[in-house]
Structure formats: structure tokens, C-alpha cells
Amino acid sequence: GTEVGNVLLRITCMQFHLPFYLSRPLPNVFAMMLTNYAMGIWIDGGNAAKVVYLLAFATTVVRCDAILLAGPIGLQLYFNGELTLAQGIKSGMLATLGSVAFSIILDSCFWGRLLYPEGVVLFFNTFQNKSVEWGTSPWHWYITSALPRALLGAFPLAVVGILLEKKLAKVMTPCIAFIALYSFLPHKELRFIFFALPLLNLSAACAVVHILRKKAGTFWGLAKVGTLCAGIASLFCTIMFACAAYGNYPGGVGFRWLHQQNTSTVEPARVHIDTFAAMSGVSRFGEEMEGWIYSKVEGLNHSMYLSMGYSHVISEEQEIPGFRMLHAVDGFDGIGLHRGFPPFEWRVAPKVFVHERIP
């Protein structure tokens, strides 16, 4: 109802990761627009075929791993009698074929060659299992690390909501199945399970409303205090995360500094951006100088910077032969404790360096 919806909104606003990532143009974020809409129809008991169409489009065009959510929801629709097997196959096939055709036509035009992007991603991540090249985490990482950080105080409340509200079984079963299926993939990132966060927040919101409606008893009084503490803790953690994130993009700061100086001795400037700088804020939106050449070629050694004619290098390395350092950019380096109030401080250290070739 409206009361749960209002609490859900407040819980989401008190978190850091979900609102933060919603501002970023990631495929996971774009796909979540469709999955949220589909889940809203599904929870309200709306047109099951429409749910299938939306989830199929999200899976085949925007983010292929949405299939791990679409599958459990599809099974839920079938076992609850909301969708027959024939209807599910028909709707799924029509939506999939139409969406794949749309993606191939549009993306092939964009890339200038025949291409189905989500097919390439699926093949790389699943069949070749090359996502492990980006690192691996234990099977329990989503439960023990990602979800507590993303949900904050809503994490224990989500568990309480599942226990208190029997109606949530319909919603949470596919959600839990989605997270469990993803846990089998060795490479794990928080953004992979974005689709589950609104459902978990919904469970937390139901728990809050259930607890606040109880008027008497020591147990429920303590539960209300615990709920308030969870909210305060969430706000505190969100503020800390935001302060840390503010200093987490030294690459972008260094990139902007270079453009503001405009003191290149070589025209047009050839700027190389290393991997760390690219991962910490450098983007094409910052390429402000007309005529400058920008490169993110990976795997280069120091001698190659000179042989390939780069005039500037933005790197995590403090010294590069043949170049002089123009500027060092500080970045977040952890949280330290000290006497006084507040009893902690945000530590910074030089993270990115802007170099210019020595004439």
C-alpha cells in the first residue's frame, strides 16, 4: 500500500550505492528500469505476458544476465497459474526473436559490422568464463559483503520482513533464487545483483510498517528502537561512503587539470590514459580540447610512451623515463582514527600523476 511505498522510498534514499549507481550510464541501470517496471506489474498481478515481454527485452537487448531473474519470475507465474506453458513459450519466443532482431539491426549500424552485443557478452562471461580475468570472490560474497554494504540497515530488516509477511514469499522466492544463481559465477560485482535490491528494500519496508503498527509490548518497543537505530546507522554510513567517494576519482581530477593548464609544448597533444586513471574518473566527456588525441591502449611499457609519440601521460606511476611530472592528484586512501570529534578522518594520498614529455 501507500504506507509501504513511502517507507520504501525513504529506505532507498538513506542508502548510498543504489542512488549513486542510478546516476551512472551502466547497462545494469538501464536494464533495471525495465525490470522494475516488469516486477511492478508482476507484484500487482497484472498482465503476465507484458511481464514476459519486458523481461525478455531487458535480457536480450540491455543486459543478458537479467535472464537469471526472468527465469525464476517466469516459473513463479507458471506455478501460480498466472501463465500457461503455451502462453509463456509463445510470449517468450515472440519477445526474444523481436528483441534480438532489433538489437542486431540497431547495434550493427552503430558498430559498422554485424553484431549482437549481448550474445558476445553472454559467450564471454558464461561459455568462455573469461569474466574470472577481472577477479573472483567466494560463493557467499553477495550475502556477506555486497548486500550488507548496499542495503545497510535495511539488510537485517529485509530478513525480518520475509519472516513477518507471508505475502512476501511470492516476491522474495525469485529474488533469492536470482542471487543464489549469480553466486555460482566466480566473478562478482554489486551491480550484477541490482535487480534484487528494490525487492529486498520492499521486504525491509514491509518489516518497518509491520513493526510500527504494533502498539504494545516490550518486544515490539525494542523492535521500534532497533528500527530507528538501523535508519540512523544507514544515514551515518551513507555520509561516510559519500565522503570517501568524493575522493575516489583522482583520474578525472587530473584529466580536468591538464585541460585547464593548456600548456602543451606539443600540438596537437597526444594524451595516454592508463588503466587506473581510466577507472578513476577519466571519460570521454572530459575530452575538451579540439584536435587533441586521446588513447587508452593497454599493456604499454615505459619506452612505448616515447616511441608512440605521447606528449602527456596520466598514470598511477609517479616516475616515467623521458617525462616530467607536472601534477599529483590526491585520492581516498582509507579511514583513520584519532582523538577528538569526530573520532575518524578520511586519509588521502597521491594516486594519479600527470606527466609531460621532456622536449
Q: What is the pLDDT of residues 57-96, one digit of tens each?
A: 999 999 988 999 999 999 999 998 888 999 999 999 999 9
According to DSSP, the β-strands at 312-315 and 344-357 are antiparallel
Which of 263, 264, 309, 256 has its CA nearest to residue 283?
256
Residues 255, 296: contact at Cβ < 8 Å?
A: no
What are φ and ψ of residue 282, in 5° steps?
-75, 130
Taking the C-alpha atoms of residue 133 and residue 339, their distance in angstroms, rounded to an integer, is 42
Task: Say if CB 309 and CB 224 are below 8 A apart.
Answer: no
pTM (two decimals): 0.85
* Pairing verdict, β 344-357 and 270-273: unpaired
User: Residue 134's pLDDT band (boundaries 50, 70, 90)?
Assistant: confident
Structure confidence at residue 334 (pLDDT): 84
Q: Which residue has the cell 511481464?
A: 51
Which pLDDT does position 39 carry in this prediction? Answer: 94
Question: pLDDT tens digits for 210-262?
Answer: 998 887 788 888 999 999 999 999 999 998 889 888 888 999 999 999 988 86
Residue 293: alpha-carbon gap to chain centroid: 30
**C-alpha torsion angle, residues 316, 319, 320, 326 (rounded to 10):** 80
Rounded Cα gap, residues 161 and 149, in angstroms: 18
Kindly give, in sequence order, each residue whose CB lies less than 8 Å from that of residue 32, ignoring residues fewer than 6 positions away. 194, 195, 198
Q: How confident is the model at residue 124, as a pLDDT? A: 84
The edge-to-edge listing of strands for the beta sheet with 293-295 is: 293-295, 270-273, 312-315, 344-357, 323-337
Distance separating alpha carbons of residues 292 and 310, to the nearest angstrom: 11
| Residue 260 CB neighbour total at 10 angstroms | 9
Residue 174 has a CB neighbour count (10 Å cut-off) of 24
